[in-house]
Structure 1
């Protein structure tokens, strides 16, 4: 087993998602994940406190990028324009591995109530990051909360479209989803 080979965290995530999809979340052990990833159990625990946390790997960084993008939007930008800036900023951090992971993650989540719950908490946390960044810009609470939720929904919809696309850039998919949602709000 190559103890010090780079990319252990990414390999652990890929191994876990594949195992969750193949045999179910409950039937998958940390030992199996570590073995599939080619690392030791202690390496697993250096990266993750438990197997549930594999699902949210990178969530903090993604939330930070979303908030930074909102904060750095031009001063005159409206709430959804600032959200779009956050989506663009976060999209820039998503690479081919993230796109490849999409369908596999979706299958694993669909098969486990515990993973569905964890995924929902991840979405709430990311929407809160967007909302907080908007409030810091002076956007009223209710408007910021609605824009934050729309931003998170746009990110998820854009990610789903991107994971099935043949291009490398998530941003156009996320921005198209935001535009579609914005248009849909006119029908409310």
Structure 2
């Protein structure tokens, strides 16, 4: 196995991308509000490397509010077909406008329009209201590129801890943990 947690992540992620039927880039994002009340939801990994793990969202959403109030989060990848999971804990910062613009430009047009139409995490009286807002955005941006909304962008989780869990027979699982130090990463094992 690799001694670099990012190299090991890349290996496991590449294997998951070939075996997971749906959304191998799906990860659970756990946040907590300013009072420490936790919340979790699934988001999609859209970039990763030694500087962190990136996802995008409406910055008016509940998760964004929690991330702005408490700059720590946890991620969990669970690849059932591989019988593996990766846990990541770390600090959170907003992605740059340039990164957010570039990713937004790569999205499908309907996804771009949906970002403008959605008041994410807010109460919705019925689906017809959202559909009408989507139609308004279609008309507003007809014949032109859809710019990134100012309220939409990325977040980067910079890991302090990365744990790799591999299922083993008789619940004798392997848990390998990497902890960031001032000099790089220290590595150890955890009891299952």
Q: Which has the larger radius of gyration?
A: 2
> Does TM, normalized by the shorter one, top 0.5?
no
TM-score by length of 2: 0.28
TM-score by length of 1: 0.29
Q: Flag the structure with higher helix content.
A: 1
Q: Flag the structure with higher strand content.
A: 2
